[in-house]
Amino acid sequence: MTCSKEYMDRAENAVLHTYNRFPVVLERGEGVRLYDLDGKEYLDFGAGIAVFALGYGNKAYNQALKDQVDKLIHTSNLFYNMPMTEAAEKLLKASGLSKVFFTNSGTEAIEGAIKAARKYAWLRDGSTDHEIIAMKHSFHGRSLGALSVTGNAHYQEPFKPLIGGIRFADFNDLDSVKEQITEKTCAIILEPVQGEGGIYPASREFLQGLRSLCDEKDILLILDEIQCGMGRTGSMFAYQDYEVEPDIMTTAKALGCGVPVGAFVLNEKTAQNSLVPGDHGTTYGGNPLACRAVSKVFDLFEEEKILEHVQKIAPYLEKKLDELVEKYDFLTERRGKGLMQGVVVSGRPVGEIINKAIENGLFVLSAGTDVLRFVPPLIITEADIDEMAEKLERSF
């Protein structure tokens, strides 16, 4: 533990304290397991916050990055590069949309989506006072724009004033959204499955109702798939299971499976009537290294039949979590979609359970104030789920 403590102390001295980190210094990973500096093994049901969909140490993924490092890492967007084109084509094929803009993170993708929506509305009527409707208990990121559409006052309060023209409606309540619509409304933004807010899936009626509402009033529908996308719910993107298509979609996290990369993706109507040269940019976005990761991720999803595996294994995870809810009085509900699951904890601090789970060699996350969140690598097996349940019960 001495070596780990030294690194933790050095980090606290050098890194701005904006995270209350768990007392673990991770060194390496393999499959669905992580190992700390002291050699202790952890079963990972957090996946770097829903990032490492393919697990750790995937040789084909690692080799693709190594090969790209030896070729070209960065060019800027003043030039074309092959990985960017290949990654864009695969993302468009997977999403069914028309044009992509690569960013460095999910938060940046949200910023771009907001700008595209406002530019679309400005071109339509020349007004600069448009409004966006977001959802209560949502989470879209920490920059000022993304924070402005995040429906949680706790995150927002110290950083006001935020960007204006944002109204909030109740998730899964179509009438609540209708009440917020004015002649200034240009976009509605939401997560098909709310993540940080507590693992709440949208109902089919709600999401399809929003699509109809947006079509009727020429409002853009922005779907944030940063956490729930890239196969996590069993479809490549969660909206595909609802038979709804967004005007703008944001993605990140598992898009690069560890390499920092995000994107916002637009349908043809929005792409042709929004951002033009000079409106938006990024130095690193779309660089060859990040886009090689994206391109390889899509290849491996197909080769390793990741979506089929999620569809097959998710019911087993649901069954095991349901059994725990049935067994323990302080677990009151399971909710979620695919391999994005949450269990509501009543009367016991979620943080204490998570800390005890770490002692027992298991990583799980929290969501909201009272939810245990399970977002493992998409390659987990029934044996991994059994082991998770056993370690969790020991932690209880």
DSSP tag of 31:
B
Cβ(103)–Cβ(252) below 8 Å? yes
Nearest in space to 292 (alpha carbons), one of 77, 71, 99, 79: 71
- Measured CA to CA, the distance from residue 27 to residue 35 in angstroms comes to 6
Classify strands 371-374 and 340-345 as parallel, antiparallel or unpaired.
antiparallel
Judge whether 370 counts as a catalytic residue: no
Judge whether 9 counts as a catalytic residue: no
Residue for token pair 């006001």: 160
Active-site pick, 224, 241, 370, 384: 224
Judge whether 253 counts as a catalytic residue: yes
Alpha helices in the chain (DSSP H): 2-14, 47-50, 59-71, 82-95, 106-125, 144-148, 153-156, 174-180, 204-217, 268-272, 288-303, 306-327, 350-359, 382-395
> Which structure tokens are listed for 211?
């699509």
Active-site pick, 52, 101, 102, 139: 139
Active-site pick, 90, 101, 241, 253: 253
Cα 47 from chain centroid?
11
Which string of DSSP letters, residue by residue, matches 57-81?
T-HHHHHHHHHHHHH-S---TTS--
Catalytic residues: 139, 224, 253
